[in-house]
């Protein structure tokens, strides 16, 4: 009669009920704390559960209630400073509200994202926090939302998707950072994006359509902000100053080398995330380039090491933990039944000036 239990040793509700000499319904009431149960029987059931080491099977419960008390988180890489800090915000919030977190990495690959979303949906998570890959179709996300599972987008915005978004104003932050560089006298400012070459092509196009379509993505928005600042200052963009060739540190290192090999190398570099900053720093070290004397470096995200490298890095900080918290809260509200139309939270950034930027040596 206890097939699985003999193997896994898990006591079930009928086991407890039998041990306490009551029906499963009564046992369920006593354990679940609903309905009304005589105090003496309640105690008897609780004791029986204790003795048998009973643990309710959440799966069975979920089948009835339709809720799994679980949210799925789909991000490109837990090791990325932005995501790991946000993830912490998400897990802390979820946990405090009684939800569990199912995790999936995508490495910015659309195919992995699709399968992750599909798997999480099959697992009937109550909702998802997704940081969508920069390109490709969003049918899989649309389907999930259509089926009634809310999705909150992290960091990135996808047009035409009925989902809440939480992030920062990337375009503005990048514009402000670029303007600071301009105000120091820099005119040859390069960006190291940590994006794909495709992004670069789109950005370089003379019509604005490229930028507009891009503004849905983080890299695109930031690139657009960079472009805004240059345009406003009357400086023409140079395509060779756009680095976009992968997400890893090695990619950034070689990209910055390429930049410095240019006949007219940039006098300042704007790195789009802390991996890119690290890559630039490593390149500088390899070439014995002094920063900020020879080149200025300005990065996104205040990593744990940002104030301890040499020189201490000037950065645009985004409230990563708070973004995670906000995203999770929004999602839990939706799961709780909130109905209003999608909202797009934009959390404030902070500019932290340290010593990695200065006036250009030859401008």
User: Cα separation of 217 and 221, whole Å?
Assistant: 6
Cβ atoms within 10 Å, residue 235: 15
Phi first, then psi, for residue 80 (nearest 5°) are -60, 130
Q: How would you list the strands of the sheet with 296-300, edge to edge?
A: 242-243, 189-192, 268-271, 296-300, 314-317, 350-352
Cβ atoms within 10 Å, residue 209: 10
Q: Which is nearer to DNA, 31 or 270 (CB)?
A: 31
Measured distance between the N- and C-terminal CA atoms of the chain, rounded to whole angstroms: 84
| Binding flag, residue 32, DNA (CB under 7 A) | yes
Q: Which does 338 bind (CB under 5 to 8 A by kind): a second copy, DNA, none?
A: none
Footprint on residues 267-326 left by a second copy (CB under 8 A): 278, 281-282, 285, 303-305, 307-310
**E strand or H helix that includes residue 242:** strand 242-243
- The SS3 of residue 185 is coil
Beta pairing class for 350-352 and 314-317 = antiparallel
- Residue 41 token pair: 């029987």
Per-residue binder mask for a second copy (CB under 8 A), 69-98, x = binder: -x------xxx----xx-xx--xx--x---
- Residue 129 token pair: 């926090």
User: Cα separation of 24 and 30, whole Å?
Assistant: 10
Per-residue binder mask for DNA (CB under 7 A), 62-91, x = binder: -xxx--------------------------
| Binding flag, residue 118, DNA (CB under 7 A) | no
User: Cα separation of 310 and 274, whole Å?
Assistant: 14
Q: Which is nearer to a second copy, 139 or 362 (CB)?
A: 139
User: Cα separation of 117 and 66, whole Å?
Assistant: 19
CB of 197 to DNA, least distance (A): 42
Q: Binder to DNA among 9, 14, 185, 197 (CB under 7 A)?
A: 14
Q: Binder to DNA among 43, 47, 51, 57 (CB under 7 A)?
A: 57
CB of 163 to DNA, least distance (A): 24
- Residue 161 token pair: 């998707």
Name the segment binding DNA (CB under 7 A); options: 11-19, 104-112, 205-213, 287-295.
11-19
Q: Which is nearer to a second copy, 16 or 87 (CB)?
A: 87
Residues in the chain: 363
User: Cα separation of 130 and 71, whole Å?
Assistant: 10
Q: Binder to DNA among 9, 35, 336, 348 (CB under 7 A)?
A: 35
| Binding flag, residue 10, DNA (CB under 7 A) | yes
Q: Binder to a second copy among 17, 20, 104, 219 (CB under 8 A)?
A: 104
| Binding flag, residue 116, DNA (CB under 7 A) | no
Which residues in this chain contact DNA in the complex, by CB under 7 A? 1, 3-5, 10, 12-14, 22-26, 28-29, 31-32, 34-39, 41-42, 54-57, 60-61, 63-65
Residues near a second copy, by CB under 8 A:
4, 7-10, 53, 55-60, 62-63, 66, 68, 70, 77-79, 84-85, 87-88, 91-92, 95, 100-105, 118-119, 121-124, 143, 146-149, 249, 278, 281-282, 285, 303-305, 307-310
């Amino acid at each position: 009669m206890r097939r699985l239990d003999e193997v896994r040793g898990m006591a079930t509700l009928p086991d407890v009920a039998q041990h306490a000499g009551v029906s499963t319904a009564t046992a369920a009431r006593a354990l679940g704390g609903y309905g009304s149960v005589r105090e003496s029987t309640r105690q008897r059931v609780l004791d029986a559960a204790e003795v048998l080491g009973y643990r309710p099977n959440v799966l069975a419960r979920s089948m009835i209630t339709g809720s799994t008390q679980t949210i799925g988180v789909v991000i490109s890489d837990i090791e990325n400073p932005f995501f790991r800090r946000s993830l912490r915000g998400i897990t802390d919030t979820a946990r405090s509200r009684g939800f569990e977190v199912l995790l999936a990495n995508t490495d910015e690959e659309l195919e992995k994202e699709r399968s992750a979303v599909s798997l999480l949906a099959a697992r009937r998570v109550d909702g998802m926090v997704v940081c969508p890959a920069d390109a490709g179709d969003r049918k899989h996300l649309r389907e999930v939302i259509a089926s009634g599972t809310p999705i909150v987008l992290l960091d990135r915005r996808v047009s035409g998707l009925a989902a809440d978004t939480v992030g920062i104003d990337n375009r503005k932050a990048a514009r402000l950072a670029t303007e600071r560089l301009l105000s120091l006298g820099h005119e040859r400012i390069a960006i190291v994006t940590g994006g794909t070459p495709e992004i670069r092509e789109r950005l370089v196009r003379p019509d604005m359509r490229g930028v507009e379509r891009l503004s849905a993505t983080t890299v695109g928005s930031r690139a657009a902000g960079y472009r805004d600042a240059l345009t406003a200052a009357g400086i023409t963009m140079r395509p060779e100053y756009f680095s976009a060739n992968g997400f890893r540190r090695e990619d950034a290192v070689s990209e910055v080398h390429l930049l410095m090999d240019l006949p007219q190398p940039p006098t300042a570099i704007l790195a789009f995330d802390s991996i890119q900053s690290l890559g630039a720093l490593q390149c500088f070290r390899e070439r014995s380039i002094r920063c900020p004397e020879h080149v200025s470096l300005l990065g996104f995200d205040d990593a744990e090491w940002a104030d301890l490298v040499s020189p201490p890095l000037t950065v645009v900080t985004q409230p990563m933990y708070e973004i995670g918290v906000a995203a999770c809260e929004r999602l839990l509200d939706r799961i709780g039944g909130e109905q209003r139309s999608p909202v797009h939270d934009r959390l404030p950034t902070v500019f932290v000036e340290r010593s990695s930027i200065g006036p250009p040596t030859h401008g």
